[in-house]
Chains A and B, each alone.
Chain A
Amino acid sequence: MEERIELDIRVPNSTCYLGMIGHIGEAMARTLRDYHGDREELAYHLNLVLTEATANAMKHGRSQIPETPLRITITVAGNCLVIRVFDQGRGFDFAALPCQDEHNLPEHGRGLFIIRTLMDRVCYRKSNGGHVLEMEKKLD
């Protein structure tokens, strides 16, 4: 039978929870029943993607109501893993990615580059009055 996992997480909008969210991704990579790739590499990548996306939502997606928790879902269905990070703020310009310029050396803007590099499909769209960053990875 196809492996199915659904996690629906709500955390306060504070960076002190980033480590916990990242560790959930690591634990999932080490637990997946049907994954035959490098589990430690997948664990690091899921930790990283969850940390980047959550930190981004905390920074750019803050609700008008500060107490509003941040919602993150992680779903595995067979060989497809989908992470969704929801925000209730004004969002950000997903298309405006700074280039990785070695000479100009920007201090910001590498988070989405990292997510796009490590995941197979990434999109950012409106959802229920806010936005969702949706990231998919094939677990081959």
Chain B
Amino acid sequence: MTILIVDDSRIMRNIIKNTLTGHARYANCQYLEAPDGREAQRLIQSQAIDLLLLDWNMPMLNGLELVKRLRADAVQAKLPIIMITSESAKYSVIEAVKAGVNDYLIKPVSEKLLMEKLERLGL
């Protein structure tokens, strides 16, 4: 499985990645990283991704905009996306879900919640 982690904070990307690799189930996944939406979009177009873990507030192209672009693209319409962001207001979550994210996680990342949400997606 190939997982793409997108966050403008390198530390946050590492935290998410370490959280996942700490579980046997995700230890042998291939991990890709991108610091902003534009770089993420480039990566997604160039290779097959199975799961996208995506921040919202990022320079160049923000996470929400990227989701909208991906969902408009027939090839990526089904790509599982979990948004991981500090944006905690309910209207923000609704906006993201409307744009097409499969699930939503509020930072700081809780390991338990992340695992639950991955399980819910059947990943």
Chain A bound to chain B: no
Which residues does B use to contact A, with CB under 8 Å?
Answer: none
